[in-house]
């Protein structure tokens, strides 16, 4: 990985504008996890012209590509939730917050009654339509049948999370798409993580409500996100892990890393 670590690349794109790491001073943190709420990223750019700042608008689509020369890909695709600019000494710093979907907090249903015998999959598909997100994957551990029917009421993301829990299945949003699936299933790409491929330091073992895993840190790796499969090889432990949460961090001269929690 040492040779591949040369040529950091990060690109922020919105409103027909592109800000690249080689031309702008910027940094960003892009989180990912396995719950039904959108994640909010924070990006900071230094000393933009006011006319440029005026073209960065709330609810505008924003994408971030990152990686290294010859190996660059999307790590964020969402909508701008806030833009603010303030002076820090002699520098003008613009902070952009980005949700990895539209703001879903106000997407609610008054009351929808589903008939007796309705399957969970039918409820999830209908609710996903209300939040306007494409379903990238849907693989339920059990397609629970509501023998007495089901009443959907309240925030749509809460309803989806509740129904998925009845199915023993995780649900999360990633890059403006909805995923309903077990973290340990699916045909996800496997990334071999070792000191030779970018592992930084020693992974930290953890146990959380009976779930075991490792916290890992690596040179920024766009392929690592929720449900990614890691083949970890290090002095502490070797084996297969499934990523449940983490973040990408990039800057010109500071952090250019991916951190994550991965479970056995």
Each residue's pLDDT tens digit, 6-42: 689 999 999 999 999 999 999 999 999 998 888 999 9
Domain ranges of the chain: 108-181
> What pLDDT does residue 187 have?
55
H/E stretch holding 106 reads none
Residue burial 254-263, b: 16+ Cβ < 10 Å; e: rest:
ebbbbbbbbb
Of 260, 257, 220, 258, the closest CA to residue 243 belongs to 260
- Reduce the DSSP state of residue 163 to 3 states and report it: helix
pLDDT tens digits for 209-219? 899 999 999 99
**Exposed, middle or buried by CB within 10 Å (0-12, 13-18, 19+), for 35?**
middle
In whole angstroms, give the CA distance from residue 114 to residue 222: 40
> What pLDDT does residue 8 have?
94
132 confidence band (pLDDT: 50, 70, 90): confident
In whole angstroms, give the CA distance from residue 8 to residue 53: 25
Q: Which CATH number fits domain 108-181: 3.40.50.1260, 3.90.79.10, 3.55.50.30, 3.40.50.150?
A: 3.55.50.30
Of 190, 149, 156, the closest CA to residue 37 belongs to 156
User: Contact 139/186 with Cβ under 8 angstroms?
Assistant: yes
> What pLDDT does residue 36 have?
86
The pLDDT mean for the chain works out to 92
118 confidence band (pLDDT: 50, 70, 90): very high
> What pLDDT does residue 3 have?
38
186 confidence band (pLDDT: 50, 70, 90): low
> What pLDDT does residue 100 have?
87
């Amino acid at each position: 990985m040492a040779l591949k670590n040369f040529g950091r690349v990060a690109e922020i794109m919105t409103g027909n504008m592109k800000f690249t790491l080689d031309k702008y001073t910027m940094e960003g943190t892009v989180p990912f996890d396995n719950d039904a709420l959108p994640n909010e990223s924070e990006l900071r750019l230094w000393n933009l012209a006011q006319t440029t700042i005026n073209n960065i608008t709330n609810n505008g689509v924003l994408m971030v590509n990152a990686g290294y020369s010859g190996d660059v890909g999307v790590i964020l695709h969402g909508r701008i939730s806030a833009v603010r600019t303030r002076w820090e000494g002699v520098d003008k710093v613009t902070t952009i917050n980005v949700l990895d979907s539209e703001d879903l907090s106000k997407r609610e249903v008054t009351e929808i009654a589903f008939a007796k015998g309705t399957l969970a999959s039918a409820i999830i598909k209908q609710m996903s339509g209300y939040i306007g997100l494409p379903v990238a994957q849907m693989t339920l551990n059990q397609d629970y049948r509501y023998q007495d029917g089901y009443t959907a009421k309240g925030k749509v993301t809460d309803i989806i999370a509740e129904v998925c829990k009845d199915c023993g299945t995780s649900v999360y949003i990633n890059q403006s798409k909805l995923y309903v699936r077990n973290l340990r299933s699916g045909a996800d790409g496997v990334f071999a993580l070792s000191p030779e491929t970018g592992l930084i330091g020693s992974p930290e073992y953890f146990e959380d409500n009976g779930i075991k895993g490792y916290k890992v840190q690596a040179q920024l790796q766009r392929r690592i996100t929720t449900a990614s499969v890691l083949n970890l090889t290090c002095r502490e432990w070797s084996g297969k892990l499934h990523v449940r949460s983490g973040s990408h961090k990039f800057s010109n001269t500071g952090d250019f890393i991916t951190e994550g929690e991965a479970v056995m």
